């Protein structure tokens, strides 16, 4: 049993590259620390939607995205301080390799937050060479040099001994443990990544197996002590007087990609978040003032979405009455004339945007997006600055030139289509970089 002090134990779990095992090790540590009775606060470095949902599955706590570029350094510091406060352990799952991503890298985040880094290495195809890798990570940016190392996919006791001896001889980082190659744990995936938490991809027995393996092979007590530090202090954020405003948010298996901090920013203005399911519901929540359709996998549920004609008609009426609706990525696809799924079958949708959406087998777009609005929208007058991320496999027909383009994007593309007071496009926005946009959204919706 761990000897727990009052301080918080916190670290950024980084990797040599994508696929090194960060998510598996992160989930294992989160689940194991939770299993022994500690309060774990999970975080995710970068814009990913899926990993935070898996974090919540194993900890019971909402995971927060920490992205310096997309939401600003000040916002990230405040978010980390507010949500790690009162926890025993805060685990930040990194993104890609430790130094990948510039200002949004795991290394940059660790430096901004003053957190130690723990490096995960897939050693399945190496032995003594692991020491050279670790040595490089220690020397490239010494201020965030890994404090510890977790070896992934160890094949045998002899394999472990060869790696351990080399690392002890040449490196400063401690080896905190390993996961064997034989551990039976995997997360199903598809074109946008791993299955979402709404689809229950982690079986209880698989989580139990992972917990057992982590407890057996990783020194949790040493990891906790190595990363112990004073808990950050952050003033509580006070909500405004109740604004008597209801934001209806689409949330089900088809629409599940949201930044929780966006909802917090709305709640801070007194907004009530009411969820509904485009898959099952026939009406919007009572007293709805504006609608928010997030991203997800509408292409996987296109037939069911198309057959729910009552909800499609409800959204068409909402648009025709010039009330505010905002849709991003999957939500935008839902408001087009229809979706051609991966088997090229067509499914009619809401028809607010006069284009058809077609799924591709290859990625259509990926990257951060810096946006300046060209005209008035739900996010305020022309000239509003917004930041977000784009990642999708679908494409649309050429949009009618008569449809207003709201966004001027840093990739020289004009996007963000507006019909009446419905705004839709492929961008996933994080409003932490433009908090004023939340107030403008409420004001615009009331007009």
pLDDT of res. 387? 97
Which residue has better confidence, 99 or 7? 99
pLDDT of res. 200? 52
pTM of the model: 0.92
pLDDT of res. 4? 47
pLDDT of res. 109? 98
Instruction: Give percent above pLDDT 70 in the chain.
Output: 93
Phi, then psi, of 178 in degrees rounded to 5? -155, 170
Q: What is the mean pLDDT of residues 84-106?
A: 96
Name the burial class of residue 222, with classes exposed (0-12), middle (13-18) and buried (19+) by CB atoms within 10 angstroms of its CB.
middle
pLDDT of res. 197? 47
What's the mean pLDDT when you consider all of the chain?
Answer: 92
Q: What is the mean pLDDT of residues 229-237?
A: 72
Question: What is the Cα–Cα distance from 323 to 246, expressed in whole angstroms?
Answer: 13
The answer, yes or no, to whether residue 101 has pLDDT greater than 60, is yes
Q: What is the mean pLDDT of residues 366-389?
A: 96
pLDDT of res. 190? 44
Domains defined for the chain, CATH in brackets: 8-229 (3.40.50.300), 245-446 (3.40.50.880)
pLDDT-wise least confident of 156-170, 234-248, 264-278, 314-328:
234-248
Summarised one tens digit per residue, pLDDT across range 166-218 is: 999 999 999 999 999 977 665 554 444 445 545 556 778 888 999 999 999 99
The answer, yes or no, to whether residue 287 has pLDDT greater than 80, is yes
Q: What is the mean pLDDT of residues 122-149?
A: 96
pLDDT of res. 434? 93
pLDDT of res. 186? 59
Q: What is the mean pLDDT of residues 396-414?
A: 92
Choice among 227, 256, 329, 378 that is catalytic? 329
Q: What is the mean pLDDT of residues 372-385?
A: 96
The answer, yes or no, to whether residue 386 has pLDDT greater than 50, is yes
The answer, yes or no, to whether residue 60 has pLDDT greater than 90, is yes
Residue 291: which pLDDT band, with cuts at 50, 70 and 90?
very high
pLDDT of res. 6? 55
Structure tokens at 53: 């949902």
The answer, yes or no, to whether residue 337 has pLDDT greater than 60, is yes
Q: For this structure, is 171 an active site residue?
A: no
């Amino acid at each position: 049993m761990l000897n727990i002090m009052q301080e918080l134990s916190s670290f950024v779990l980084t990797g040599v590259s994508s696929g090194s095992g960060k998510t598996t090790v992160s989930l294992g540590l989160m689940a194991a620390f939770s299993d022994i009775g500690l309060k774990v606060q999970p975080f995710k470095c970068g814009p990913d939607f899926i990993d935070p949902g898996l974090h919540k599955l194993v900890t019971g706590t909402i995971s927060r995205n920490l992205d310096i570029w997309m939401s600003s350094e000040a916002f990230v510091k405040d978010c980390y301080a507010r949500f790690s406060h009162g926890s025993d352990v805060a685990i930040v799952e990194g993104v890609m390799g430790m130094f990948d991503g510039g200002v949004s890298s795991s290394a940059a985040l660790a430096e901004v937050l003053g957190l130690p880094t723990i490096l995960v290495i897939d050693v399945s195809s190496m032995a003594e060479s692991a020491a050279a890798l670790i040595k490089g990570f220690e020397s490239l940016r010494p201020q965030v040099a890994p404090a510890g190392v977790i070896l992934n996919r160890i094949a045998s006791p002899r394999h472990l001994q060869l790696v351990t001896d080399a690392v002890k001889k040449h490196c400063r980082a401690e080896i905190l443990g390993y996961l064997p190659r034989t551990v039976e744990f995997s997360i199903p995936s598809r074109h946008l990544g791993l299955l979402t938490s709404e689809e229950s991809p982690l079986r209880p027995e698989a989580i139990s197996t992972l917990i057992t393996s982590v407890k057996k092979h990783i020194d949790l007590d040493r990891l906790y002590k190595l990363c112990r530090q004073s808990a950050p202090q952050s003033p509580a954020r006070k909500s405004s007087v109740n604004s008597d405003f209801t934001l209806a948010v689409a949330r089900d298996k088809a629409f599940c990609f949201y930044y929780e901090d966006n909802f917090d920013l709305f709640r801070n203005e007194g907004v009530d978040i009411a969820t509904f399911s485009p898959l099952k519901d026939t009406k919007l929540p009572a007293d709805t003032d504006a609608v928010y359709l997030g991203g997800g996998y509408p292409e996987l549920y296109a037939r069911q979405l198309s057959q729910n004609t009552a909800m499609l008609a409800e959204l068409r009426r909402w648009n025709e009455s010039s009330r505010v609706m905002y849709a991003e990525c999957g939500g935008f696809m839902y408001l087009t004339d229809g979706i051609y799924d991966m088997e090229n079958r067509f499914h009619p949708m809401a028809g607010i945007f006069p284009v058809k959406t077609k799924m591709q087998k290859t990625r259509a777009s990926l990257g951060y997006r810096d946006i300046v609005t060209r005209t008035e929208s739900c996010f305020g007058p022309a000239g509003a600055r917004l930041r977000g991320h784009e990642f999708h496999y679908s494409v649309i027909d050429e949009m009618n030139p008569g449809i207003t383009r709201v966004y001027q994007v840093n990739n020289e593309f004009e996007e963000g289509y507006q019909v009446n007071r419905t705004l839709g496009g492929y961008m996933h926005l994080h409003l932490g970089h433009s908090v004023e946009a939340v107030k403008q959204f409420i004001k615009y919706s009331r007009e």
